[in-house]
Amino acid sequence: MKLKTIYASLKKDLSFIETELEHTVNAHHPVLRDASNHLLKAGGKRIRPVFVLLSGKFGHYNLPLMKNVAVALELIHMASLVHDDVIDDAEMRRGAKTIKAKWDNRVAMYTGDYIFARAIELVTELKDPAANRILSHAILEMSIGEIEQIRDQFNWDQNVRDYFRRIKRKTALLIATSCELGAVAAGASKEEQLHLKQFGYYVGMSYQITDDILDYTGTVKQLGKPAGGDLLQGNITLPVLYAMNQKNEKEKIMEIFSEEVHSSQEQVDQVLSIVKLSGGIEHSRQISDRYLQKAFYELEQLPASSARTSLRQIAEYIGKRKH
């Protein structure tokens, strides 16, 4: 099932959120406004707002209130992407030039900071002080996760536990927070808040593992770049960690990278072959699926509803997606 089909029940609300996103980043300065809108118009899956809205359906769904959380979560994600592109020196994102490429690093830094502050201001509109506590914890952890990712680049001694902790911080926490805050904003019960948070966490873990698999298996057309981009930057993900745990494979991989600090596409291609032969891709798929099953279990603890069905469909889509 396509994401668009799953989103159909939320079409009207999502279109409202899209308009609100544009209004929210309507800065006074034209460059700040254009830069903020530039990324917005490049699109995206809007998974975080969707999780906020669907989770809100388990409480007293009130769109004007839910919108603050949905918009804020997407903006936080966007702000982190703007800064990530400076970190990665990236030229393209979602088929369009990055802000740092279209303007420059300084414009990207100001835009990211502006969007981030705008998002936080929106969350202060919620009455429940827990909202800020939950979100600020997630953002703090996210930034630590990003620092750890840089730290762990080309670190061949890291283990699977390091990887899981990193992707939890980097991806899963913000998705868990989207679900939890949607439930908090709608006043769902504490129990429902917890199940939705756990659901988001497991889906987020599966999402990132799938993303990391796709980096090895995707085509240039699907990825918009050659496979193995993560490894090229020194990011060691689950498929390669699995391969390194197989007999002699760690030595082989380390040998490929031993001569230079910078990795080349040629080196990456060699490691890709080793990873594929080792069964690292298949193993990662199993782990991703295991997280999905845990996510489904959390959903089953919630009352049956169309929102629950949609959450399950999105989770399934995430596990099987090709890009």
Partner 1 sequence: MLQSRLSHSYLLRFIDFPVIDEEKLYVFYGMLEQAKLEHRRKQDTLLSIMLVQIALDTHELISLEEIDNESDRKNRQLTVLAGDYFSSMYYHLLSKWEDNELIRTLSEAIQEINEAKMSFYQTDYSTIEPVFENLKEIESILVRKVAEHYGLSNWKSFGSHYFYMNRLLTERKQGIIQSGSFMLQKIASTLLSVKSAKLSTNQASKAKIVLDSYIAYAKKEMDQLLQQHSELHQLFQERFEYNWGMTGIQEKKMAEEG
Binding residues for partner 1 (CB under 8 A)? 27-29, 31-32, 80, 83, 86-87, 89, 104-107, 109-111, 113-114, 116-118, 120-121, 124, 129, 132-133, 135-137, 139-140, 142-144, 146-148, 150-151, 261-262
CA 21 to CA 122: how far, in whole Å?
A: 11
Q: How far is the CB of 79 from partner 1 (least distance, A)?
A: 9
Query: Under a CB-based contact definition with an 8 Å cutoff, are residues 234 and 153 in contact?
Result: yes
Name which of 122 and 318 has its Cβ closer to partner 1.
122
Q: How far is the CB of 107 from partner 1 (least distance, A)?
A: 7
Name which of 9 and 105 has its Cβ closer to partner 1.
105
Name which of 125 and 316 has its Cβ closer to partner 1.
125
Q: How far is the CB of 102 from partner 1 (least distance, A)?
A: 13
Q: What is the dihedral of CA 177, 182, 184, 188, to 10 degrees?
A: -130
Q: How far is the CB of 181 from partner 1 (least distance, A)?
A: 13
Strand partners, 29: none
CA 160 to CA 169: how far, in whole Å?
A: 14
Name which of 64 and 129 has its Cβ closer to partner 1.
129
**Class of residue 32 by CB neighbours under 10 A (exposed 0-12, middle 13-18, buried 19+):** middle
Query: Under a CB-based contact definition with an 8 Å cutoff, are residues 76 and 138 in contact?
Result: no
- Of the candidates 307, 139, 296, 131, which has an alpha carbon nearest to the alpha carbon of residue 203? 296
Position 93, amino acid: R
Query: Under a CB-based contact definition with an 8 Å cutoff, are residues 256 and 271 in contact?
Result: yes
Q: How far is the CB of 267 from partner 1 (least distance, A)?
A: 16
CA 123 to CA 24: how far, in whole Å?
A: 12
Name which of 85 and 249 has its Cβ closer to partner 1.
85
Q: How far is the CB of 142 from partner 1 (least distance, A)?
A: 7
Q: How far is the CB of 121 from partner 1 (least distance, A)?
A: 4
Name which of 33 and 294 has its Cβ closer to partner 1.
33
Name which of 146 and 269 has its Cβ closer to partner 1.
146
CA 208 to CA 26: how far, in whole Å?
A: 31
